[in-house]
Structures are given as structure tokens and as C-alpha cells.
Structure 1
Amino acid sequence: MPTKILHKERLIPGRTSKLVLDAPQIAATARPGHFVILRVDEKGERFPLTIADTDKEHGTITIVYLVLGRSTQMLEELEEGQFIHDVCGPLGRATHIQRFEAPKKVICVGGGTGVAAMHHIAKGHHEAGNYVIACIGARNKDLLLFEKELSLFCDEVLVSTDDGSEGQKGIVTDLVKGRLDSEGGNIAEVVAVGPVPMMQAVSELTRGYGVPTTVSLNSLMVDGLGMCGACRVTVGGEMKFTCVDGPEFDGHKVDFAELRSRLGSFRSQETVVREHHRCNCFEKKEA
């Protein structure tokens, strides 16, 4: 069913954009952690995007995407008032959110476009009554996302940049370690969403503190319905499918070495002349 774009904001021009979509049925049931599958036009590929926010009253969902391949470039070419061919969701398992009694706190860590997905989870913890510390990082201040949005409900928003142009100079795990050290055991849970190396680093850090840690592995998804098997990942020695068993898993049980190896399997093909990439699913075959 065609889905109308009600609002578009280019967060980082030419790189990252935010869309607010008219999707009342999805907005009515979507929860933090859920994702949708989009198809820009009739012959376009299906690709997943995590829901960054919902507004049940107005029947809208918010998505944020990085302009990387042909499909996201097609999405970037659409403007307010135009339609996405179809949007399917909510999909996946919602984030497990429970209320922690004070002085217990939750740290939500985000990097890159993962900050948008983390935003929805942090908001869920806030609505559950938890004290939320948001830790976000980027290479420089121009690449930071959702700092203002997170400040509307998070009790604290901590920022780090590689070059020190905003917040603390360094990487986001430095912020997490600082709070783990200063809180003296009051951190009940850490949630990390973003690049795989960042989620792995956060998980390895929190393991030493014995703090439960959740990571989101949405970068693995292809079809989003558990049929293709491309999103398989080993968690606690068992094979899981990110799209139907996740996308969130215990970060201390994920086999990150295997995950990073699989993500890099087709890197050479992915980097060869991206502009010439196109889907061949609908090409007519010669007899």
C-alpha cells in the first residue's frame, strides 16, 4: 500500500535523512526495537529500516536512513507529499523494557544512524519510568544525530566526538566507561545500537562490570521475514535469525568475530562502482 511522506528533513545533507510517514496501522502497534521493510517503487528491492519514533495520535512513524546504495538513493530522491510504494511492519521482536527502581539507571549508546533506533528505545525506557543516560558519538559535530531529540526526555545526554569538536574528545565507549566507573554499580542495563565494532566494544567493556547489555543487529537483515537466512548469527552457541529472533540480543553472547567476518564477505563487490548496481530480479532471461 502506498505510504505518503509527510515530512522530510536532511539531517546530514547528501548522507542522512529523516522521514515522517503516514502509517496509522503501523504506528498503532509499533514498539521500540521494531523495524519496517520498504520498497521505493514496484520493481525496487526490499530493505529494512528500524523505526526511530512513533506518534499514535497522528498515525505516523519516523525512519532515518543513510544514503549508501541504489535503494536509499532512490528514497532520497523522494520529497514531502510523494509516496513510497509500500511499507510493511512492524516486524521483529520489540525491545524488552522493564522498570528499574532508583538508584538504578539505564545507559543507551548510539553511533551513526543507530542513534535514531536507540532514540526509540531510550524513549521507551523513559516512559517506563527509568533514569536514562544517552551516550552518543560521531567523528565530528557535523555528523551527530538526535542530540536535541534525546535531550527532550533523557535525564542526561553525553556526547563524544573523535576530533573534540563537540562534547568529550574520544570515542563513545569512553563515555560509557566513565559512567560505569562513577555510578558504582547503579547501572542496571546498557543498550547499544550502531556500527558492529562499536557494539562489540561496548559489550566487551560491560562484560567486565557484569552489566547486562543488549545490542541491535539490524545491519544483517535482507528480506526481514526469516526466509532468506542471510541474517543468521550465532548467539550463545546457537544459530539465530536476526529478523525474527531479534534484532536485539544479549551482547555478551553474540559471536562478534563470526558476525564481522560475514559482514565483510562481499566488501569487494559492494565497493565496485556502486552507481552501476541494479537489481536483476525482473530482467528477462534469454531462452
Structure 2
Amino acid sequence: MNKILSAKWIGRDIREIWVENAPVADKFKAGQFVVVRTGEKAERIPLTIVEASDGALRLIVQKVGYSTDILCSLKTGDFIRDVAGPLGQPSVIENYGRVACLAGGIGAAPLKPVLKALKEAGNHLTVLQGVRCKDHLIMEDELEVLSDSYILVSDDGTCGDKALITEPFKKLIENGEIFDKAFAVGPPPMMQAVSWITKEYDIPLTVSLNPIMVDGTGMCGACRVEVGDETKFACIDGPEFDGNLVDFPLLIGRLKTYLDEEKQIMKEGDGGCSCGN
């Protein structure tokens, strides 16, 4: 179990991994995630499950630090030490009507299973995908085939129109498009910007959060987020929350907590992290 069946680069520093794990694959529902470790004392990495098929999980990993660098270095035939899951609450799927779905950067990966479930529930889907540049564009064909209307933008104009993802979203609304619901997955500043629009036009918004996470069971409290007047834990209450109530400034600040330590580890190697052991 946990054998890597295939691994390939699909974008700049973005790797697709299919890993064998029938127990998790059989129970997976859209919106849920796994926590993986590459070694006994390695950092735990939360990854949303993109899809499950024939006892295997499809995971998309972006190389952003020491631990994801190690994970991305694994090849077909290697093994991942631990794959725990499925964790978190499944997406709340129903026939909302007309739904706007926004994917920023690698957010295309966790959004894909949600799109599939929403489509199967009979929703009309307008999908907006935004990336920094063409090198970071992934899964565009998969998102487009699930959409009734698809818009692609990039920060530098190397793919799609040159714009931030919020620009065509707001333009659609200003031109009379009615949305009964919105989903957004991507970097926290992007989701925050989407929430400014959904609050302005009174559109219910669901966002998928990926804060700092250690054990994935709610014991450590590292993944706490403020939603309205309540403290929630992304690993057990989420990862999806009401995007119109999330305290994004607090979330963004907490994500910067260990930047100095990450830089130091990238220089020296970790020598074995003992967190949670």
C-alpha cells in the first residue's frame, strides 16, 4: 500500500502523483483530503484528493518548501510512508442552480472533484480559472469539460486574458449574470478578494482552506481559523467554510508563522522533524 503508481510534472514545480491506497480511495468524497508523510519523522503534508479510481488516489503537489520538495522527488515505484485519510468534511453538494466556481493557481486540483459533484447534482457551472503565468496552468481541459461556461485569465497574459480572476467574475455580475452560489479555491488573498465581491452582491460563498496543519485530527489546534464569531479547525470542521465569514487577515498572518524556520531548513535539511512524535 502507498506505492506510487505514476508521478509526473504537469506544471512548473507542480507534480501529479497516483498512489495506491484502496481503503482511502473507497471512502473518499469530494472535498476531503489526506495527510502524507515521506518518512518516520517527516513533516505531515495535507493534500486534497483530486480523484480516486481502482484503489488509487490522484494527488497534486506544488513544491513550495523542504517537505514538498522531498515528496515531489519521489518516482514511480517508490512508496509514501503514510497516507492518512480521508480527512475533513465532504463538500456540501446540492442543486444550487447557477454556480460560479473560481480556481486560483493550484486550486484547480481541489476544485475539480467539487465541480464533478456539482455537475452531477444538476448545477449550471461558470468556471473561472486564474494563474500567474502559463507555466502554472494545470488541468484546464478537465475544468473546462465540466463547465457550462469557462473563462481563463493570467496575471501576465501568457494564457487567457490578462487579468486577475476577480475581474471577469465581477464583470459577469455587473452585466446581469445571476449566481445562486459560489465556490472558490486558491491562495488566501485570492479567496479574500472573491469574498469582497460575494458579500457586495449577497452571494453565498464556500471556500476551501489549507492552513498550517500538524496532526490532521484537531488535537494540535494549529489549523484553527476564525469563521464569524467561532473558532473552527480546518482538519475536522473543514476544509470548506463560509467564505463570507472567514477572517482572512488572521489566516494570512498565521500562514507566515514559520517562514524563517522553513528558510533555515531549506538551507540545512531538517535532520528529522519530531513534531507529533
Q: Return the TM-score normalized by structure 1.
A: 0.90
**How many angstroms apart in 2 are the aligned matches of 1:83 and 1:204?**
43
Compare 73-82 and 202-211 and name the one that shifted more. 73-82
Gapped runs of 5+ residues in structure 1?
none
**Structure 1 residue 99: deviation in Å?**
1.0
Compare 71-80 and 86-95 and name the one that shifted more. 71-80
Are the equivalent residues in 1 in contact too, given 2:66–2:262 (CA < 8 A)? no
**How many angstroms apart in 1 are the aligned matches of 2:111 and 2:270?**
31
Are the equivalent residues in 2 in contact too, given 1:214–1:251 (CA < 8 A)? yes
**How many angstroms apart in 1 are the aligned matches of 2:36 and 2:241?**
23
Residue 215 of structure 1 aligns with which residue? 207
- 1:130 to 1:282, Cα distance in 2 relative to 1, 3 A: closer
Residue 192 of structure 2 aligns with which residue? 200
Compare 223-232 and 266-275 and name the one that shifted more. 266-275
| 1:212 maps to amino acid | P
Compare 107-116 and 263-272 and name the one that shifted more. 263-272
**How many angstroms apart in 1 are the aligned matches of 2:64 and 2:154?**
22
- 1:232 to 1:122, Cα distance in 2 relative to 1, 3 A: same
Residue 256 of structure 1 aligns with which residue? 248
Q: Which runs of 4+ in 1 moved over 4 A?
A: 279-283
Gapped runs of 5+ residues in structure 2?
none
**Structure 1 residue 63: deviation in Å?**
0.7
**Structure 1 residue 221: deviation in Å?**
2.2
- 1:70 to 1:184, Cα distance in 2 relative to 1, 3 A: closer
| 1:176 maps to amino acid | F
Q: CA RMSD in A?
A: 1.8
CA offsets 1:168-192 (integer angstroms, 9 cap, x no match): 111111121122233442x111111
| Structure-to-structure mapping, 1:123-142, within 5 angstroms | 123-142=116-135
Percent of paired sites with the same residue: 40
Q: Which of 73, 77, 84 is the equivalent residue of 1:77?
A: 73
Are the equivalent residues in 1 in contact too, given 2:108–2:143 (CA < 8 A)? no
**How many angstroms apart in 2 are the aligned matches of 1:181 and 1:35?**
35
**How many angstroms apart in 2 are the aligned matches of 1:282 and 1:199?**
33
Are the equivalent residues in 1 in contact too, given 2:66–2:265 (CA < 8 A)? no
Secondary structure in 2 aligned to 1:244? coil
CA offsets 1:131-153 (integer angstroms, 9 cap, x no match): 11211111112211110111232
**How many angstroms apart in 2 are the aligned matches of 1:40 and 1:280?**
11
Residue 95 of structure 2 aligns with which residue? 99
**How many residues matched?**
275
